[in-house]
Chain A
């Protein structure tokens, strides 16, 4: 069962420019693990040294932040809208 994960503009440089990546997994954590297996350049941008999702990246499942659900354990299924939403700034320090 493959699930589409939406990649924001700011991270597309690490996913060959793709705005959506099809992945297999039952939870948000599994999807993200598959994502970095496929695009290892993303690893340091999504996870910190302790393996935690970085605090400037949020994941939304059907419009709800997984922080308000079960975090990385949040179950996902085909047809849901899953978005990575990082902080963006636009300017000179971004």
Chain B
């Protein structure tokens, strides 16, 4: 680690001058000089008095960790690379799939099946060969995150799940790093900067996550492709502002964005003095087991076990007493229907459980067999007495088995 990096890190670590300039504590001489090519490349930044030569040199000195190279991470990392952030770390363990390309614009069609971090690295290097890209092709966990985070000045959270979100939040508080956050669902997104001095952390706003299965994932509920594009760009703007300083960062303000109605709302959010992580008397001072915290510690058990597509077909052919319950939303059924299934959307299951026949075996179906498992668990908890089976791998497996058109979504 060179001298200027260490001092920037220390300065950021102490949260100095957030909103005034994270690198403000640095003597100008500690910042790396720009080369002639860099001066040409960043001329539109240099023309802004708010950024200028010093701001651009701060960007060159900065080390930013981008967690997730998906919908949010794609535009975020692209803009950070374009802006000349000196070192960008990318964390992801996933591979590029065709269904990612509708929104994850850092990856290309030819990248399908490649590790996302490799694909993203190539793209960023192509965009800006002068910066350093470090790939972390791992699933972020309590074991590896501390070490990874310690190498960066600030973190941008582009993850898609609660365990990683709480892990990022807690570590940013422990290591006194800003956590530039965004989150999306269907047409709606949220963004803010957590972990800034005096500002709240994610736990101040949401002390605990929803129980698994309450809300369908984007893989099942869908997402408008441009939504993470917009929110990822908001994150990029905040990262750049925090590094350059002098701007008004999105601290203590939660931006809520509805792309379908094109409405931005700004909500005030405050630090919770009783927060277990960043409050006055913190009770959590090191990483915990986040899977367990988010209710994912126990393996989700299907009370009656799974049923495979082939077995379901055999039993239906034999005319056995089986009631197939389709818990998907109406628009999903128009894409692919299961003939003869009783339709009860997830949200109505518990209220309408009297409509089920406890004498028959109920087989719950959804797109990939995940929501249906949560449906069974919800009914089980509500005391439904009959036998419930989960169609393993959902209608995706069913469509494959019976041939004909594959599941189109």
Contacts and interface: CB of A to CB of B under 8 A. Distances in A.
Interface string A2-16: 000000111001100
Contacts of A91: 159-161, 217-219
Nearest to A54: B210
A41 interface: yes
Interface of A: 8-10, 13-14, 19, 40-41, 44-45, 54-56, 58, 60, 63-65, 67-68, 81, 83, 85-94
B335 to A, nearest CB: 17
Contacts, number: 118
B190 interface: yes
B190 A93 contact: no
B216 A83 contact: no
A56 B270 contact: no
Contacts of B296: 93
Interface in B220-240: 223, 228
Interface residues of B, number: 51
Contacts of B210: 45, 54, 56, 86-87, 94
Interface stretch (B38-46, B56-64, B346-354): B346-354
Contacts of A67: 272
A90 B209 contact: no
Given A55-B207, A63-B268, A94 B215 contact: yes
A87 B216 CA distance: 13
Contacts of A85: 190, 254, 256, 267
Nearest to A12: B186
Contacts of B351: 40-41
B188 interface: yes
Interface of B: 71, 159-163, 165, 183-190, 205-210, 212, 214-219, 223, 228, 254, 256, 258, 261, 265-270, 272, 294, 296, 329, 345-348, 350-351, 370
A41 B217 CA distance: 19
A58 B272 CA distance: 13
A68 B271 CA distance: 10
A93 B162 contact: yes
24 contacts: A10-B186, A13-B346, A13-B347, A41-B347, A56-B209, A58-B205, A58-B206, A60-B267, A64-B267, A65-B267, A68-B270, A83-B265, A85-B190, A85-B254, A85-B267, A89-B209, A90-B184, A90-B228, A91-B160, A93-B162, A93-B212, A94-B161, A94-B215, A94-B218
Contact of B268 (A41, A65, A94): A65
A59 B311 CA distance: 46
B270 A90 contact: no
Contacts of B370: 92
Given A60-B267, A63-B267, A85-B267, A10 B215 contact: yes
Given A10-B185, A94-B217, A89 B162 contact: yes
Contact of B350 (A41, A68, A89): A41
Contacts of A58: 205-206
Given A41-B348, A64-B268, A83-B256, A56 B160 contact: no
